Amino acid sequence: MFGAGSLVSGYIVDAHLGGGASADVYRVHRAGQSAPLAMKVLHTDATTYEKARARFAREFDIASLLRHPHIVAVFEKGEIPAAPPAPPTLWMTTQYVDGPDSSALVPGPDAPCDPAVVLLVAEQIADALDYAHSMDVLHRDVKPANILLTTDRSCAYLTDFGIAQLIDDVKALASNGRVSGSIAYASPELLQAQQLTPATDLYALACTMFEWLTGMPPFPRSTAFAITYAHLRDPVPALTARVSWLPTSLNAVFAKALAKDPAGRYRSCVEFTDIVSRTLRGVEVPEVRAARRRRLRP
């Protein structure tokens, strides 16, 4: 991990933004400039380096095809030399987004969802996905963590094309037979290693919106097997069973977006979000927190 002030391939590290098993992300700026960028630094070792390098290059190449106001732009990639036998460290720089990921939109028991913000973000991401599809790119891992927000939540950006592929060469399963992507948002065709289409990303967007509106994805289960079974076999739950003030007509909208058969879903992500927007227009959100404060007063 690099500390603040470290010089990395001509970039100065400002802060460590977060990380996981596969990579760390830093806010950086180029030496002599002040504009912030994000730098993704991959974790590799000698046994996984060549495969990781190929995948990292593919992520950069695919993301570089896309120029959209709601897709995080990628700028540069490189390698940091290391003393043998350690492999070089791989990095890429991208557009920096100053806010949280869209998990911040997921409501809790004392804070109902904000439909206006959910719809704004959903419409922007739907347009980004439809654009990517027009460029023959499938994201394959749409979920709240891969959607970044500005601090005022007025703008959203689709990020992390780490498992994205071109439509004409998608493979639903990795070489080890594991599903690529997050199971909570995975479509039936992805889980069954069938041909993927733009409807696969639409399904994941619908799962994401379901969570933004209700606090949970459609099929919250305790094991990966149970989640997979639910995507394949269980009926789509009614949103109004979880959030009673949502309009009942929204249940049918999401049932179509989450159809088991991709052919039964909406024709595009924007078509889906437009219908959700019309359905939610004018819906009043109950003042849960204010009501609770009144109940707690002596």
Q: Residue positions in the annotated binding site?
A: 40
Stated length of the chain: 298
Residues contacting residue 249 through CB under 8 Å, at least 6 positions apart: 279
Q: Cα angle vertex 42, ends 208, 149, to 5°?
A: 35
Q: Which neighbouring-strand residues pair with 179?
A: 173
Name the E strands within the chain: 7-8, 11-19, 23-30, 37-42, 74-80, 89-95, 137-138, 147-149, 156-158, 165-166
Q: Which of 101, 127, 130, 141 is catalytic?
A: 141
Known catalytic membership, residue 141: yes
Cα–chain center distance at 259: 20
Q: How far, in Å, CA of 52 to CA of 32, rounded? A: 31
The 3-class SS string of 151-167 reads CCCCCEEECCCCCCEEH
Look-up: residue for tokens 């595009």?
A: 268
- Angstrom CA distances, 36 to 5, 23, 71, 145, 289, stand at 13, 19, 17, 21, 37
Report how far residue 191's alpha carbon sits from residue 150's, in angstroms, rounded to the nearest whole number. 32
219 vs 17: CA distance, rounded Å: 30
Annotated binding-site residue numbers for ATP: 40
Which residues belong to the active site?
A: 141
